[in-house]
């Protein structure tokens, strides 16, 4: 699995998805996206649509997903 920075940059997941790994990724630590996740827009584990946020559900097609 790609790391969260790569998933966001490629538009595979919402650009509002965050994980603390975004703030310390480097080398081996950047091997894959891991939680816990939160949404920048709501500042919680739940997105604007009331659903939990993670790399599987915050993808194009979700009503609140922003990829560009």
CA 48 to chain centre: 14
Nearest to 29 by CA among 5, 3, 6: 3
pLDDT tens across 1-41, in order? 688 888 999 999 999 999 987 766 555 555 566 678 999 99
Residues 54, 31 contacting (CB under 8 angstroms): no
- The confidence score (pLDDT) of residue 68 equals 84
Among positive and negative, which fits the CA dihedral 46, 52, 54, 55? negative
| 5-32 CB burial, b ≥16 within 10 A, e <16 | eebbeeebbbebbbbebeeebeeeebee
């Amino acid at each position: 699995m790609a790391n969260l920075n790569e998933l966001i940059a490629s538009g595979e997941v919402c650009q509002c998805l965050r994980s603390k790994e975004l703030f310390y990724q480097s080398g081996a630590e950047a091997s894959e996206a891991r939680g816990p996740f939160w949404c920048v827009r709501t500042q919680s584990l739940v997105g604007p649509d009331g659903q939990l946020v993670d790399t599987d559900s915050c993808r194009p097609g979700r009503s609140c997903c922003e990829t560009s």
